[in-house]
Amino acid sequence: MAVRSVLVSDTLETFRTTFNSLGTDVGDLGSLSTTDQSSIVAAINEVNTSVTTAFKIADDSSTQQTINTGDVFRISGTSNQVTATVSATDTLTVALASTISGITSLTATGTVQGGTLTDGTASLTSGALTGVTSATIGGITISGSQISSADSTLIQMEGLNILNVSSASTDTDAFLVSDGGVVKKRTGEEVLSDIGAASSGFAIAQAVALG
């Protein structure tokens, strides 16, 4: 549409028709869909305010950031922890990464499921625990091939089965016995006395004396 103008040499009729055409070009104020229909300027200001209103975001520490018109509100994930994906239409998806690392503490109240749980040394896989260097259960500590008790000298085991016991290279003069279910040791001489047997020296002397 050409610019409408009135020259100083134009007639009053030309001014009248040009002015009326300008009103037609601008339009009827009653046709505005804005709340304020008092003038074109008021309507434009209302629209401008509605599309340029800024908003703020804040974190748990009350740090705030103002998002102005034209700014990009970016949601950032953390590598190997949280992912953030934007897709159509107007959708933001936040999820845990398939492989998570860098967490210093994790508390779970339900069931933790996974292929392998590990702290870098010990691993738990399908019910099997490997790589454990020591374990403390109540007052009992298991470390290497040793089992010790912090609160008692007795460790109770039901149905104890000892396999592959190596032979002593020397006479240790010690025998394991059960004392009311408690494993204790006795010397050879004590065992002979317990079962009413004679020592080899006594047996020889007795045989000589009896001829």
In a domain, 145, yes or no: no
pLDDT of 14: 93
In a domain, 209, yes or no: yes
Give whole-number Cα distances, 38 to 17, 19, 20, 188, 195, in Å: 24, 20, 19, 118, 120
Q: How many Cβ atoms from other residues are within 10 Å of residue 128's Cβ? A: 8
In a domain, 126, yes or no: no
46 and 63 together in one domain: no
In a domain, 201, yes or no: yes
User: 73 - beta bridge partners?
Assistant: none
In a domain, 117, yes or no: no
In a domain, 84, yes or no: yes
The domain in which residue 59 lies consists of 55-96
pLDDT of 91: 92
Of 85, 126, 117, 79, residue with least CA distance to 98: 79
How many separate domains does the chain show? Answer: 3
| Tens of pLDDT, residue by residue, the chain (211 residues) | 678 899 999 999 999 999 998 888 888 888 888 999 999 899 998 888 877 677 888 988 989 998 887 888 888 888 888 999 999 988 999 998 888 888 888 888 888 777 888 888 899 888 898 998 888 887 888 888 788 887 766 777 777 777 788 888 898 888 888 888 778 888 888 888 888 776 666 556 556 666 5
Task: Work out whether the CA dihedral 137, 142, 147, 151 comes out positive or negative.
Answer: negative
In a domain, 37, yes or no: yes
Of 16, 15, 21, 17, residue with least CA distance to 2: 21
CA–CA distance, 13 with 6 (Å, rounded to integer):
10
Q: How many Cβ atoms from other residues are within 10 Å of residue 61's Cβ? A: 6
DSSP states of 124-157: EETTEEES-SEEEETTEEEETTEEEESS-S----
39 and 65 together in one domain: no
What are the φ/ψ torsions at residue 78 (nearest 5 degrees)? -120, 130
